[in-house]
Structure 1
Amino acid sequence: MTEEIRNKLYELSEEKYREFNQKLLPGVEHVLGVRLPILRKLAKEIAKDDFRVYLAEAQAQITRDSIHEEIMVQGLVIGYAKMEQEEYRKCLDEFVPKITNWSVCDSCVTGFKFMRKAPDYWFDYLKTYRDSKEEFEIRFMVVAMMNHFVDEEHIEEILSICNEIRHEGYYAKMAVAWALQVCYVKFPEKTRQLLENNSMDDFTHNKAIQKIRESYQVSREEKEELGRLKRIHVC
């Protein structure tokens, strides 16, 4: 089944879009150039069919070095398929190590809405990645928390986790900055307290403030106040 899907991806690919997409995915070698809406449509079709056969083959045949779109489809199918909790977990345990770029991470994680149905279970699951040495496992955790758990029950722990992350990867740091923007929009006072007193590195701290100030949901007065919290080093 995975071979059939691979052939279909080749048929759906566009050379100009491949060239464009390749520029957005530095370091990713195997990109065909299939647009995300088309990948989503394909994944939905698989999820309505015998998706367990597909996922079993994907687990065995698709690796982190496989074609970008193949990995993307696997993650999207997990989000669209209807499974029991432990089955989802098994699929994620197998899929997450294959994430090697922001596109696969962010596009797939937004579809993992099943996490909202058992928040305690899935939030605890995400926390198992907090000490990972892998850049995109950290990003997976942070982006999933940002998309599905920024609420009254989890906000303080999310802020604490963001403050404690010590990964040097650019995409891990940017995930934290992005998450803090989302947290600020929903919980400005609690997030501002963190921005006023935190142990994040300067890059992540300043990027978080930058992203918050770029939001249309933050007032001009707030943006001016937040600007004063940026760290400036004089050489």
Structure 2
Amino acid sequence: MTMRTDRLEQLRGLAESDYRDFNCKLIPGINKERVLGVRVPAIRKVAKEIVKGGREKDDWEKYLTELENCRPNPQGIGGTELFYEEVMLQGMVIAAARMEREKRLTYIDRFVPRIDNWAVCDTFCGDLKFVDIEENRQPVWDFLQDYLEDDREYFIRFGIVMLMNHYIDEDHIDAILATVSSIRHDGYYVKMAAAWALSMCYIAFPQKTEALIENNEMDDFTHNKAIQKIRESYRVSKEDKARLNLLKRR
């Protein structure tokens, strides 16, 4: 039995049919036939087992190699199609395993093309805690620039969500605001990521972010969605919400 087969059976045992139906509704366009219905905390627990060698034949590098030999596409062309939870698990193992920075970036580079929904993207970005180690911050920032300049929807979303999760600070806020507001892409999940990122920038740097909202060349959807998300936050005062509402484009 391969590691992939072993862990897939484990995931099947953790599946919940009601949660599967709920999850499919949250992720438009997902191939429902390739969703088991396993909750994220349960998948993360499996990832930790793999990384720590919880079973006799566990080897996280071997496991990643087995998954990389599969292709998570709807047609199953060129390999066995992975389940949604397996792709999620693959990202979690990449994020959690102990390895050198350059090796992890190589794994990330190979994984990003497999991202085809917001849930895998955003969970993966949040799990990449190695970015927050000081010596990794500039190299990873440089690494992300190619994704932000790509024309593929989830490549760009990955870049934006990474900036939002790991770089909203005094050193990077100006670059983030300039980068996010300059992205031009018709993809819904790019626009939503940009709006989300700007709302988080507002929480940390309200004056700088509001100045951008007052004067930008973003499309109307992203502009208005950013304002909406800011106004939905409990960390923004009623007065600020009222003022921002006046900046919406009609």
- The bucket for the TM-score relative to the shorter chain is over 0.9
1:46 counterpart = 2:50: yes
Asked whether the 8 Å contact 1:64–1:71 carries over to 2, the reply is no
Alpha-carbon separation, structure 2, partners of 1:218 and 1:64: 41
RMSD: 1.1
Alpha-carbon separation, structure 2, partners of 1:174 and 1:124: 23
1:82 counterpart = 2:94: no
Alpha-carbon separation, structure 1, partners of 2:187 and 2:111: 20
Alpha-carbon separation, structure 2, partners of 1:58 and 1:86: 20
Work out the number of aligned pairs and report it.
232
Asked whether the 8 Å contact 1:97–1:137 carries over to 2, the reply is yes
Residue 205 of structure 2 corresponds to 187
Residue 29 of structure 2 corresponds to 27
Asked whether the 8 Å contact 1:32–1:68 carries over to 2, the reply is yes
Alpha-carbon separation, structure 2, partners of 1:221 and 1:64: 48
Shift of 1:32: 0.8
Look up the SS of the partner of 2:217 in the other structure.
coil
Asked whether the 8 Å contact 1:40–1:76 carries over to 2, the reply is yes
**Which deviations, in whole Å up to 9, do the C-alpha atoms of 1:75-128 show, x marking residues without a partner?**
011111111011111100110000000110111110101012211000111111
TM-score normalized with structure 2 length = 0.90
Residue 40 of structure 2 corresponds to 36
In the alignment, residue 56 of structure 1 is paired with which amino acid? T
1:150 counterpart = 2:168: yes
Structure 1: runs of 5 or more not aligned = none
Residue 91 of structure 1 corresponds to 107
In the alignment, residue 85 of structure 1 is paired with which amino acid? R
1:61 counterpart = 2:70: yes
Shift of 1:41: 0.6
Deviates more, 1:56-65 or 1:27-36: 56-65
Structure 2: runs of 5 or more not aligned = 54-58, 75-81
- 1:72 maps to which of 60, 79, 88: 88
In the alignment, residue 214 of structure 1 is paired with which amino acid? E
Asked whether the 8 Å contact 1:64–1:99 carries over to 2, the reply is no
